[in-house]
Amino acid sequence: MVVLENLREELNTTQGNITLELSKINETLKENEKFEQQILAREETWNKTQATIEKQVDTLSNLHKNVSILQDVLTEKVQIKRQQDQNLTNQIAEPENSSEIYYNTTVVFFAQRNSSYDKKRTVIPYTKSTLNKPRNSFNPSTGIFTAPFSGDYYFYFSGIIKFT
C-alpha cells in the first residue's frame, strides 16, 4: 500500500505539474493571440499606408509629366517669342551701314521737293529725303510712306501754292 500511495502522490504531483504547464501554455496562447491581433492591425495599417503611398507616387508621376509638358510648351513659347523679338529687331534695326543701329521704335523721315509740281490728285514725289528711319519706311521717289509698325503717326505738311 505504501507503493500505491507513493504512486498516487507521484501521480498527483505529475498531474499538478501537467495542469501548471497547461496553464502556462494557455497563457502563452492568449499572449500569442494578442500579438497576432496586433500584427494583423499593423499589417492592415501598413497596407493602407502602402496604398496611400502608391496613390501619392502616381500623383507625383502625373505632376512630373504635366510639369514636363508645361516646360516643353514654355520652351517652345520662349523660342517663338525670341524669334518674334528678333524679327522686330530686324525690322527696327535695318542700318544703312554697320555703324547705324536703332534700338527703339521711333519712325521719322523728312522729305522736301525743291521744284514745282503741278499734277492734281497724285502722290507727290520728293527730291530730297533725310532721317528715313527705319530705312525705307518712306520712298521719296514715289512719295509713299509705309508704316513699319502698327500705331499712331503724326504727319506735318507745308507747301506753297502758286496762283496764276
Model pLDDT for residues 114-163, shown as the tens digit of each residue: 888 888 888 888 888 877 777 778 888 888 888 887 778 888 888 777 77
Tens of pLDDT, residue by residue over 39-98, are 999 999 999 999 999 999 999 999 999 999 999 999 999 999 888 888 776 665 555 544
- Helix, strand, coil proportions of the chain in percent (round to 5)? 55, 10, 35
Q: Are 121 and 57 members of one domain?
A: no
- CA torsion angle for 100, 103, 105, 107 (degrees, to 10)? -20
User: How many domains would you assign to the chain?
Assistant: 2
Q: Are 5 and 84 members of one domain?
A: yes
Range of the domain at 36: 1-92
If you ran DSSP here, which 8-state letter would residue 124 be given? P
pLDDT score, position 7: 81
pLDDT score, position 87: 76
- Say if 163 falls within a structural domain: no
pLDDT score, position 100: 46
- Given 92, 115, 147, the domain boundary residue is 92
- Say if 162 falls within a structural domain: no
pLDDT score, position 93: 53
- Say if 123 falls within a structural domain: yes
- Given 92, 119, 134, the domain boundary residue is 92
Contact criterion met (CB below 8 Å) for 141 and 129:
no
Exposure of 102 by Cβ count < 10 A (0-12 exposed, 13-18 middle, 19+ buried)? middle
Q: Are 32 and 105 members of one domain?
A: no
Q: Are 76 and 19 members of one domain?
A: yes
Q: Are 6 and 84 members of one domain?
A: yes
Per-residue confidence band for 5, with pLDDT thresholds at 50, 70 and 90: confident
Per-residue pLDDT for 35 more than 90? yes
